[in-house]
Amino acid sequence: MPNRSTAHPQLAHEVLAAVLQVRAGSLRVLLWERGMEPHAHRWSLPGGRLGGDESVEDSIRRQLAEKVDVRQLAHVEQLAVFSAPDRVPGPRTIATAFLGLVPSDNDPALPSDTAWHPVDTLPETAFDHHAIVLRARDRLRAKLSYTNIGFALAPPEFTVSALRGIYSATLGYRVSATNLQRVLSRRGLLEATGETSRPGRAGGRPAALYRFTCRGMQVTDPFAVFRPPSR
């Protein structure tokens, strides 16, 4: 039997999601404004307590669907466990955080207390949520180098120029469209649809449309790294 003088009470466990999307030319994260203390009126990642009869992934998918109506995430993966004893006020609470990605053409309905915020200029956030968002951003940036995770940020069909914009917004620097197309094509990740985009208001030659060959996570080059251009 455990020594009653040293046994610890069961720790509280919550699940959180850093849901990212490229919107209006920048990488953004979904946050909701807390309505009560602690940290009332600060912005918080969606999530909540883990149910006793569900896995952490089932829990975060349920809570996202219930709270922010994000039902069609293109990709969800476990990010990290945050367990600092003082990460939240009061009883110790462990958080399992997830990275979720929404394609750029998806515009989910949101309640009035929820909004997309640029990752590079976050508002005042609750608890350790700022650190979780940055961890999610860094995970995504790294995976753009060695996986096909771009499929989860892009619409089903896109021009190379549009895809370049998505990669540039995510990586934080301007990517060459020619180099991006060459790298992804060499890895067998892109294929032409045989269709072209509609001409813009200025006219011009319609651009070819592409799609990812697989809309599921694949490691394509474990040693590859996208690097910003030298200055």
Question: CB-based contacts of 210: which residues, under 8 Å, 6+ apart?
Answer: 157, 158, 159, 160, 163, 190, 191, 192, 193
Could you give the CA distance from residue 66 to residue 60 in angstroms, rounded to a whole number?
A: 10
Q: Is the peptide bond before 46 cis (omega within 30 degrees of 0)?
A: no
Q: Is residue 4 part of a domain?
A: no
Q: Is residue 86 part of a domain?
A: yes
> What is the residue-averaged pLDDT of the chain?
89
Q: Is residue 228 part of a domain?
A: no
CATH number at residue 188: 1.10.10.10
Name the domain count of the chain.
Answer: 2
Q: Is residue 6 part of a domain?
A: no
The CA-atom distances, in angstroms, between 170 and each of 77, 156, 188 are 17, 18, 21
| pLDDT score recorded for residue 71 | 63
Domain assignment of residue 161, given as a range: 146-212
Tracing tokens 């929404």 back to the chain, one arrives at: 102
134 and 152 housed in the same domain: no
Q: Is residue 231 part of a domain?
A: no
51 and 106 housed in the same domain: yes
Averaged pLDDT for residues 104-128: 94
195 and 121 housed in the same domain: no
Q: Is residue 218 part of a domain?
A: no
Burial status of residue 181 (CB atoms within 10 A of its CB: 0-12, 13-18, 19 or more): middle
- In this prediction the pTM is 0.90
